[in-house]
Structure 1
Amino acid sequence: VFDPTPVISDIPRTILDRVLARTSWLSCNIVEAAEIAGAGDVEAIATRLLSNHCPSAEGVVIRAGAKGCFVRLADGTAQAVPGFKVAAVDTNGAGDTHIGAFVSALSRGVPPVEAARYANAAAALSVTRHGGSSAPTDQEIQTFLGDDDPLTTVHSRKQEAHF
Protein backbone atom coordinates (compact mmCIF):
# COMPACT_ATOMS: atom_id res chain seq x y z
CA VAL A 1 0.00 0.00 0.00
CA PHE A 2 1.39 3.37 -0.95
CA ASP A 3 0.19 6.79 0.18
CA PRO A 4 2.59 9.39 -1.21
CA THR A 5 1.69 12.31 1.10
CA PRO A 6 1.88 15.98 0.12
CA VAL A 7 5.66 15.73 -0.48
CA ILE A 8 5.02 13.70 -3.63
CA SER A 9 6.47 16.42 -5.84
CA ASP A 10 9.79 16.02 -3.97
CA ILE A 11 10.07 12.31 -4.82
CA PRO A 12 12.29 11.79 -7.88
CA ARG A 13 10.09 10.48 -10.70
CA THR A 14 12.29 7.42 -11.34
CA ILE A 15 11.90 6.34 -7.72
CA LEU A 16 8.18 7.15 -7.67
CA ASP A 17 7.63 5.11 -10.84
CA ARG A 18 9.42 2.10 -9.32
CA VAL A 19 7.32 2.31 -6.16
CA LEU A 20 4.06 2.71 -8.09
CA ALA A 21 4.90 -0.30 -10.27
CA ARG A 22 5.04 -2.46 -7.11
CA THR A 23 1.98 -0.95 -5.43
CA SER A 24 -1.01 -3.16 -4.62
CA TRP A 25 -3.18 -0.28 -3.41
CA LEU A 26 -2.62 3.43 -4.00
CA SER A 27 -4.25 5.90 -1.65
CA CYS A 28 -3.94 9.64 -2.15
CA ASN A 29 -5.89 12.85 -2.28
CA ILE A 30 -6.95 14.39 -5.59
CA VAL A 31 -3.99 16.81 -5.68
CA GLU A 32 -1.50 13.97 -5.16
CA ALA A 33 -3.31 11.81 -7.73
CA ALA A 34 -3.14 14.60 -10.32
CA GLU A 35 0.56 15.07 -9.55
CA ILE A 36 1.11 11.45 -10.59
CA ALA A 37 -1.37 11.03 -13.44
CA GLY A 38 -2.11 14.54 -14.69
CA ALA A 39 -5.16 16.74 -14.38
CA GLY A 40 -8.73 15.70 -15.04
CA ASP A 41 -11.82 14.53 -13.26
CA VAL A 42 -11.45 11.92 -10.54
CA GLU A 43 -12.63 9.04 -12.75
CA ALA A 44 -10.15 9.84 -15.52
CA ILE A 45 -7.31 10.28 -13.05
CA ALA A 46 -8.13 6.97 -11.31
CA THR A 47 -8.23 5.18 -14.66
CA ARG A 48 -4.84 6.59 -15.66
CA LEU A 49 -3.36 5.73 -12.28
CA LEU A 50 -4.28 2.09 -12.72
CA SER A 51 -3.51 1.70 -16.39
CA ASN A 52 -0.36 3.83 -16.67
CA HIS A 53 1.22 3.99 -13.23
CA CYS A 54 0.13 1.10 -10.99
CA PRO A 55 -0.17 -1.85 -13.38
CA SER A 56 -0.17 -4.51 -10.66
CA ALA A 57 -2.48 -2.68 -8.25
CA GLU A 58 -5.81 -4.07 -7.10
CA GLY A 59 -7.16 -0.55 -6.96
CA VAL A 60 -6.80 3.10 -6.08
CA VAL A 61 -8.52 5.23 -3.47
CA ILE A 62 -8.65 8.97 -4.09
CA ARG A 63 -9.66 10.96 -1.02
CA ALA A 64 -11.70 14.16 -1.27
CA GLY A 65 -11.78 15.30 2.35
CA ALA A 66 -15.26 15.70 3.77
CA LYS A 67 -16.77 14.64 0.44
CA GLY A 68 -15.47 11.09 0.95
CA CYS A 69 -13.42 9.14 -1.56
CA PHE A 70 -13.47 7.50 -4.95
CA VAL A 71 -12.53 3.83 -5.36
CA ARG A 72 -11.50 2.33 -8.68
CA LEU A 73 -10.63 -1.35 -8.93
CA ALA A 74 -8.40 -3.01 -11.51
CA ASP A 75 -11.46 -4.79 -12.93
CA GLY A 76 -12.94 -1.40 -13.92
CA THR A 77 -15.43 -1.18 -11.06
CA ALA A 78 -15.58 2.37 -9.73
CA GLN A 79 -17.65 4.05 -7.06
CA ALA A 80 -17.76 7.32 -5.19
CA VAL A 81 -18.14 6.69 -1.46
CA PRO A 82 -19.61 9.70 0.34
CA GLY A 83 -18.15 11.16 3.51
CA PHE A 84 -19.96 11.95 6.73
CA LYS A 85 -21.00 15.35 8.05
CA VAL A 86 -19.26 16.11 11.31
CA ALA A 87 -18.13 19.22 13.15
CA ALA A 88 -14.43 19.22 12.30
CA VAL A 89 -12.02 20.74 14.82
CA ASP A 90 -8.65 19.50 13.46
CA THR A 91 -8.02 17.78 10.12
CA ASN A 92 -4.42 16.88 10.99
CA GLY A 93 -3.99 13.13 10.51
CA ALA A 94 -7.29 12.49 8.70
CA GLY A 95 -5.59 11.06 5.60
CA ASP A 96 -3.38 8.79 7.70
CA THR A 97 -6.42 7.64 9.66
CA HIS A 98 -8.24 6.97 6.38
CA ILE A 99 -5.56 4.75 4.86
CA GLY A 100 -4.96 2.95 8.16
CA ALA A 101 -8.64 2.16 8.56
CA PHE A 102 -8.94 1.16 4.90
CA VAL A 103 -6.06 -1.31 5.12
CA SER A 104 -7.34 -2.62 8.45
CA ALA A 105 -10.76 -3.33 6.96
CA LEU A 106 -9.27 -4.96 3.85
CA SER A 107 -7.11 -7.21 6.03
CA ARG A 108 -10.26 -8.46 7.75
CA GLY A 109 -11.87 -9.38 4.42
CA VAL A 110 -14.11 -6.33 4.01
CA PRO A 111 -14.71 -5.60 0.29
CA PRO A 112 -12.92 -2.46 -0.98
CA VAL A 113 -15.96 -0.17 -1.27
CA GLU A 114 -17.14 -1.10 2.23
CA ALA A 115 -13.56 -0.69 3.48
CA ALA A 116 -13.63 2.82 1.99
CA ARG A 117 -16.88 3.58 3.82
CA TYR A 118 -15.30 2.35 7.04
CA ALA A 119 -12.24 4.53 6.34
CA ASN A 120 -14.45 7.56 5.65
CA ALA A 121 -16.10 7.03 9.04
CA ALA A 122 -12.73 6.72 10.78
CA ALA A 123 -11.47 9.91 9.15
CA ALA A 124 -14.70 11.74 10.01
CA LEU A 125 -14.34 10.77 13.65
CA SER A 126 -10.66 11.72 13.68
CA VAL A 127 -11.35 15.32 12.62
CA THR A 128 -13.71 15.81 15.57
CA ARG A 129 -10.68 15.54 17.88
CA HIS A 130 -7.61 17.68 18.42
CA GLY A 131 -4.16 16.50 17.38
CA GLY A 132 -2.62 14.13 14.89
CA SER A 133 -3.02 11.06 17.11
CA SER A 134 -6.79 11.12 16.89
CA ALA A 135 -7.64 7.87 15.09
CA PRO A 136 -10.71 6.18 16.56
CA THR A 137 -10.91 2.58 17.68
CA ASP A 138 -12.76 -0.06 15.70
CA GLN A 139 -15.57 -0.01 18.27
CA GLU A 140 -15.94 3.76 17.92
CA ILE A 141 -16.13 3.41 14.14
CA GLN A 142 -18.68 0.60 14.37
CA THR A 143 -20.81 2.65 16.76
CA PHE A 144 -20.59 5.68 14.44
CA LEU A 145 -21.64 3.54 11.46
CA GLY A 146 -24.31 1.71 13.42
CA ASP A 147 -22.89 -1.61 12.16
CA ASP A 148 -22.62 -4.68 14.32
CA ASP A 149 -20.29 -6.62 12.03
CA PRO A 150 -18.54 -4.98 9.06
CA LEU A 151 -17.73 -8.39 7.56
CA THR A 152 -21.38 -9.32 7.16
CA THR A 153 -22.99 -5.93 6.71
CA VAL A 154 -23.77 -5.18 3.09
CA HIS A 155 -24.98 -1.75 2.11
CA SER A 156 -26.97 -2.07 -1.06
CA ARG A 157 -27.88 1.56 -1.47
CA LYS A 158 -26.10 3.37 -4.23
CA GLN A 159 -23.61 5.78 -2.74
CA GLU A 160 -22.58 8.84 -4.67
CA ALA A 161 -20.35 11.76 -3.92
CA HIS A 162 -19.48 14.69 -6.12
CA PHE A 163 -15.85 15.58 -6.60
Structure 2
Amino acid sequence: SYVGSRDALADWIEALPAEIFLVFDPTPVISDIPRAILDRVLARTSWLSCNTAEAAEIAGRGDVEAVAARLLSSHCPTAEGVVIRAGANGCFVRLADGSAQAVPGFKVVAVDTNGAGDTHIGAFVSALSRGVPPFAAARYANAAAALSVTRHGGSSAPTDQEIQTFLSHEERSVHGGKQGAGF
Protein backbone atom coordinates (compact mmCIF):
# COMPACT_ATOMS: atom_id res chain seq x y z
CA SER A 1 0.00 0.00 0.00
CA TYR A 2 2.78 2.49 0.90
CA VAL A 3 0.22 5.22 1.57
CA GLY A 4 2.83 7.73 2.75
CA SER A 5 5.03 7.36 -0.31
CA ARG A 6 2.39 7.52 -3.07
CA ASP A 7 2.46 11.30 -3.51
CA ALA A 8 6.26 11.43 -3.25
CA LEU A 9 6.61 8.73 -5.91
CA ALA A 10 4.12 10.45 -8.21
CA ASP A 11 6.00 13.76 -7.71
CA TRP A 12 9.28 12.03 -8.58
CA ILE A 13 7.80 10.40 -11.70
CA GLU A 14 6.35 13.70 -12.92
CA ALA A 15 9.73 15.41 -12.38
CA LEU A 16 11.63 12.94 -14.57
CA PRO A 17 13.23 14.59 -17.59
CA ALA A 18 11.22 14.10 -20.78
CA GLU A 19 13.95 11.93 -22.33
CA ILE A 20 13.68 9.37 -19.50
CA PHE A 21 11.66 6.39 -20.69
CA LEU A 22 9.00 5.32 -18.13
CA VAL A 23 7.39 1.91 -18.47
CA PHE A 24 4.44 1.32 -16.14
CA ASP A 25 2.88 -2.02 -15.27
CA PRO A 26 0.21 -1.45 -12.63
CA THR A 27 -0.01 -5.07 -11.37
CA PRO A 28 -3.14 -6.67 -9.91
CA VAL A 29 -3.18 -4.18 -7.00
CA ILE A 30 -4.25 -1.45 -9.43
CA SER A 31 -7.62 -1.11 -7.68
CA ASP A 32 -5.76 -0.12 -4.48
CA ILE A 33 -4.03 2.82 -6.19
CA PRO A 34 -6.00 6.06 -5.69
CA ARG A 35 -7.27 7.24 -9.08
CA ALA A 36 -5.63 10.67 -8.75
CA ILE A 37 -2.20 9.05 -8.24
CA LEU A 38 -2.80 6.50 -11.01
CA ASP A 39 -3.81 9.26 -13.43
CA ARG A 40 -0.62 11.23 -12.68
CA VAL A 41 1.58 8.19 -13.37
CA LEU A 42 -0.32 7.22 -16.52
CA ALA A 43 0.01 10.77 -17.86
CA ARG A 44 3.83 10.45 -17.70
CA THR A 45 4.05 6.85 -18.97
CA SER A 46 6.08 6.11 -22.12
CA TRP A 47 4.77 2.53 -22.40
CA LEU A 48 1.91 0.95 -20.47
CA SER A 49 1.92 -2.82 -20.03
CA CYS A 50 -1.01 -4.50 -18.33
CA ASN A 51 -3.22 -7.55 -18.53
CA THR A 52 -6.78 -7.41 -19.80
CA ALA A 53 -8.29 -7.00 -16.30
CA GLU A 54 -5.92 -4.14 -15.44
CA ALA A 55 -6.65 -2.45 -18.78
CA ALA A 56 -10.39 -2.65 -18.07
CA GLU A 57 -9.84 -1.25 -14.56
CA ILE A 58 -8.18 1.82 -16.10
CA ALA A 59 -10.18 2.38 -19.28
CA GLY A 60 -13.40 0.41 -18.89
CA ARG A 61 -14.58 -2.78 -20.49
CA GLY A 62 -14.84 -3.48 -24.19
CA ASP A 63 -13.03 -5.22 -27.00
CA VAL A 64 -9.26 -5.01 -26.77
CA GLU A 65 -8.91 -2.61 -29.70
CA ALA A 66 -11.32 -0.10 -28.12
CA VAL A 67 -9.75 -0.42 -24.67
CA ALA A 68 -6.25 0.08 -26.09
CA ALA A 69 -7.40 3.15 -28.01
CA ARG A 70 -8.99 4.62 -24.85
CA LEU A 71 -5.87 3.88 -22.82
CA LEU A 72 -3.80 5.97 -25.23
CA SER A 73 -6.25 8.78 -25.94
CA SER A 74 -7.68 9.31 -22.45
CA HIS A 75 -5.12 7.96 -19.97
CA CYS A 76 -1.60 7.83 -21.48
CA PRO A 77 -1.60 10.77 -23.91
CA THR A 78 2.20 10.98 -24.20
CA ALA A 79 2.84 7.23 -24.39
CA GLU A 80 4.47 5.59 -27.39
CA GLY A 81 2.12 2.65 -26.98
CA VAL A 82 0.31 0.15 -24.83
CA VAL A 83 0.67 -3.60 -24.47
CA ILE A 84 -2.33 -5.56 -23.20
CA ARG A 85 -1.34 -9.09 -22.20
CA ALA A 86 -3.84 -11.91 -22.65
CA GLY A 87 -1.96 -14.81 -21.05
CA ALA A 88 -1.78 -17.84 -23.31
CA ASN A 89 -3.29 -15.83 -26.17
CA GLY A 90 -0.30 -13.48 -26.41
CA CYS A 91 -0.84 -9.72 -26.36
CA PHE A 92 -2.30 -6.76 -28.19
CA VAL A 93 -0.10 -3.78 -29.01
CA ARG A 94 -1.36 -0.34 -30.01
CA LEU A 95 1.00 2.47 -30.93
CA ALA A 96 0.41 6.19 -30.56
CA ASP A 97 0.23 6.50 -34.37
CA GLY A 98 -2.88 4.29 -34.32
CA SER A 99 -1.29 1.16 -35.73
CA ALA A 100 -2.17 -1.95 -33.78
CA GLN A 101 -1.57 -5.66 -33.88
CA ALA A 102 -2.63 -8.77 -32.00
CA VAL A 103 0.59 -10.70 -31.41
CA PRO A 104 -0.18 -14.40 -30.87
CA GLY A 105 1.42 -16.41 -28.13
CA PHE A 106 3.09 -19.79 -28.39
CA LYS A 107 1.71 -23.22 -27.58
CA VAL A 108 3.52 -24.64 -24.56
CA VAL A 109 2.69 -26.84 -21.59
CA ALA A 110 2.43 -24.45 -18.65
CA VAL A 111 3.57 -25.68 -15.24
CA ASP A 112 3.65 -22.36 -13.34
CA THR A 113 2.38 -18.99 -14.55
CA ASN A 114 3.88 -17.10 -11.59
CA GLY A 115 6.06 -14.29 -12.96
CA ALA A 116 4.94 -14.59 -16.59
CA GLY A 117 3.71 -10.98 -16.76
CA ASP A 118 6.94 -9.67 -15.25
CA THR A 119 8.95 -11.78 -17.69
CA HIS A 120 6.85 -10.41 -20.55
CA ILE A 121 7.38 -6.73 -19.76
CA GLY A 122 11.06 -7.26 -18.95
CA ALA A 123 11.66 -8.98 -22.28
CA PHE A 124 9.59 -6.37 -24.14
CA VAL A 125 11.58 -3.45 -22.68
CA SER A 126 14.85 -5.30 -23.25
CA ALA A 127 14.00 -5.77 -26.91
CA LEU A 128 12.88 -2.14 -27.34
CA SER A 129 16.12 -0.95 -25.74
CA ARG A 130 18.06 -2.86 -28.41
CA GLY A 131 16.11 -1.14 -31.19
CA VAL A 132 13.66 -3.96 -31.93
CA PRO A 133 10.39 -2.52 -33.35
CA PRO A 134 7.40 -2.78 -30.95
CA PHE A 135 5.45 -5.58 -32.69
CA ALA A 136 8.59 -7.73 -32.98
CA ALA A 137 9.46 -6.86 -29.37
CA ALA A 138 6.02 -8.14 -28.36
CA ARG A 139 6.64 -11.44 -30.19
CA TYR A 140 9.99 -11.72 -28.37
CA ALA A 141 8.20 -10.99 -25.06
CA ASN A 142 5.52 -13.61 -25.82
CA ALA A 143 8.29 -16.17 -26.39
CA ALA A 144 9.97 -15.21 -23.11
CA ALA A 145 6.68 -15.56 -21.22
CA ALA A 146 5.94 -18.88 -22.92
CA LEU A 147 9.31 -20.23 -21.83
CA SER A 148 8.87 -18.88 -18.29
CA VAL A 149 5.59 -20.76 -17.72
CA THR A 150 7.29 -24.07 -18.58
CA ARG A 151 9.43 -23.66 -15.43
CA HIS A 152 8.60 -23.67 -11.74
CA GLY A 153 8.90 -20.54 -9.64
CA GLY A 154 8.57 -16.81 -10.12
CA SER A 155 12.23 -16.34 -11.07
CA SER A 156 12.02 -18.32 -14.28
CA ALA A 157 12.76 -15.75 -16.96
CA PRO A 158 14.77 -17.21 -19.84
CA THR A 159 17.99 -15.78 -21.21
CA ASP A 160 18.17 -13.99 -24.55
CA GLN A 161 19.88 -17.05 -26.07
CA GLU A 162 17.05 -19.32 -24.84
CA ILE A 163 14.46 -16.95 -26.31
CA GLN A 164 16.30 -16.73 -29.65
CA THR A 165 16.61 -20.53 -29.82
CA PHE A 166 12.89 -20.93 -29.03
CA LEU A 167 11.94 -18.39 -31.72
CA SER A 168 14.16 -20.04 -34.33
CA HIS A 169 12.56 -23.44 -33.59
CA GLU A 170 9.09 -21.85 -33.87
CA GLU A 171 10.07 -20.23 -37.16
CA ARG A 172 11.25 -23.59 -38.55
CA SER A 173 8.00 -25.23 -37.40
CA VAL A 174 5.88 -22.61 -39.12
CA HIS A 175 7.85 -22.76 -42.37
CA GLY A 176 8.04 -26.53 -42.18
CA GLY A 177 4.27 -26.74 -42.52
CA LYS A 178 3.62 -27.64 -38.89
CA GLN A 179 1.29 -25.65 -36.71
CA GLY A 180 3.14 -22.85 -34.93
CA ALA A 181 1.82 -20.06 -32.76
CA GLY A 182 -0.63 -20.22 -29.90
CA PHE A 183 1.00 -19.76 -26.39
Q: Same fold (TM over 0.5)?
A: yes
Q: Take 1:81 and 1:115, find their aligned partners in 2: how far apart are those partners?
A: 10
Residues 3-152 of structure 1: matches in 2 within 5 Å? 3-146=25-168
Q: What's the offset of the Cα at 1:100?
A: 0.1
- Indicate the SS of the match to 1:61: strand
Q: Take 2:60 and 2:94, find their aligned partners in 1: how far apart are those partners?
A: 17
**Bigger relative CO (Cα 8 Å, ≥ 6 apart):** 1
Structure 1 unmatched ranges of 5 or more = 148-159
- Please say which structure displays the higher CA radius of gyration: 2
* TM-score, normalization by structure 1: 0.90
> Which structure 1 residue ranges, 4+ long, deviate > 6 Å from structure 2?
none
Structure 2 unmatched ranges of 5 or more = 1-22, 170-180
Q: What's the offset of the Cα at 1:140?
A: 0.1
User: What code does the residue aligned with 2:63 have?
Assistant: D
* TM-score, normalization by structure 2: 0.80
Whichever structure has more helix as a proportion of its residues is 2
Q: What's the offset of the Cα at 1:3?
A: 0.2
Q: Provide, for residues 51-94 of structure 1, a one-character-per-residue CA deviation record: whole Å limited to 9, x for no partner.
A: 00000000000000000000000000000000000000000000
Aligned length: 149
Q: What's the offset of the Cα at 1:109?
A: 0.1
Q: Take 1:136 and 1:29, find their aligned partners in 2: how far apart are those partners?
A: 20
Q: Take 1:39 and 1:85, find their aligned partners in 2: how far apart are those partners?
A: 27
User: What code does the residue aligned with 1:31 have?
Assistant: A
- Indicate the SS of the match to 1:91: coil
Q: Take 2:136 and 2:32, find their aligned partners in 1: how far apart are those partners?
A: 33
RMSD: 1.2
